[in-house]
């Protein structure tokens, strides 16, 4: 998918994001792994994900598809100097529920394509592209229980 990360800030600046997992570790795009801040001699310039100025005070960027499904924090900074620095100002932060294929939101589930398969009893919820399955519910029933499994 694309443009899962977005922030509103005056156009004409350099804005970037940093992605953190629930343990507070930061995503390092070069190593494709979460790590403690500063591990391996890395600094903010190794963790930044560039956001593109779309005009009209809107910046957008792609959430790395190699990040496994889970709940992540996105911190957005405005870059003051020639490269990202620890002194850059935090302008926004938010949480994203990442399915591994796209962001899971209430609007995604309620507003996009949903398909129920009578043979398997599964319900597939699709992303905005109406092709990418981002959530599947499978219902299993017995005489005494009804179990919902979320993938």
Please check whether residues 35 and 81 belong to one and the same domain. Answer: yes
Q: List the pLDDT tens digit at each of the 151 positions of the chain.
A: 578 899 999 999 999 999 999 999 999 999 999 999 999 999 999 999 999 999 999 999 999 989 999 999 999 999 999 999 999 999 999 999 998 878 877 777 777 788 888 888 888 888 777 788 878 888 776 666 666 666 6
pLDDT at 84: 96
Q: Given this model, what pLDDT does residue 102 score?
A: 80
The answer on 14 and 72 residing in a single domain is: yes
Residue 85 shares a structural domain with residue 125: no
- Asked whether residue 91 falls in the same domain as residue 18, the answer is yes
Task: Please indicate, yes or no, whether residues 44 and 67 belong to a single structural domain of this protein.
Answer: yes
Tokens of 35: 């790590």
Q: What pLDDT score does 141 carry?
A: 67
Judge if 71 and 10 occupy the same domain.
yes
Residue 54: give the domain boundaries. Answer: 5-98
pLDDT of residue 46: 96
- Could you please report the per-residue DSSP string of 18-81? EEE-TTS-EEETTTTEEE-TTGGG--HHHH-EEEEE-SSSEEEEPPPTTSPSEEEEEEEEE--S
**pLDDT for residue 139:** 74
CB atoms within 10 A of CB 140: 10
**Do 18 and 90 belong together in one domain?**
yes
* Same domain, residue pair 85 and 110: no
70 & 117 share domain: no
| Number of domains the chain contains | 2
């Amino acid at each position: 998918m694309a443009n899962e990360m977005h922030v509103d800030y005056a156009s004409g600046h350099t804005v970037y994001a940093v992605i953190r997992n629930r343990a507070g570790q930061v995503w390092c795009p070069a190593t494709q792994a979460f790590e403690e801040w500063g591990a391996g001699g890395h600094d903010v310039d190794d963790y930044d994900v560039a956001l593109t100025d779309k005009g009209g005070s809107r910046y957008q960027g792609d959430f790395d598809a190699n990040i496994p499904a889970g709940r992540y924090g996105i911190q957005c900074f405005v870059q003051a100097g020639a490269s990202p620095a620890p002194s850059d100002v935090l302008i926004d932060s938010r949480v994203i529920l990442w399915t591994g294929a796209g962001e899971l939101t209430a609007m995604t589930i309620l507003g996009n394509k949903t398909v129920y398969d009578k043979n398997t009893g599964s319900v597939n919820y699709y992303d905005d592209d109406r092709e990418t399955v981002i959530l599947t519910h499978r219902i299993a029933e017995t005489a005494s229980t009804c179990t919902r499994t979320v993938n």
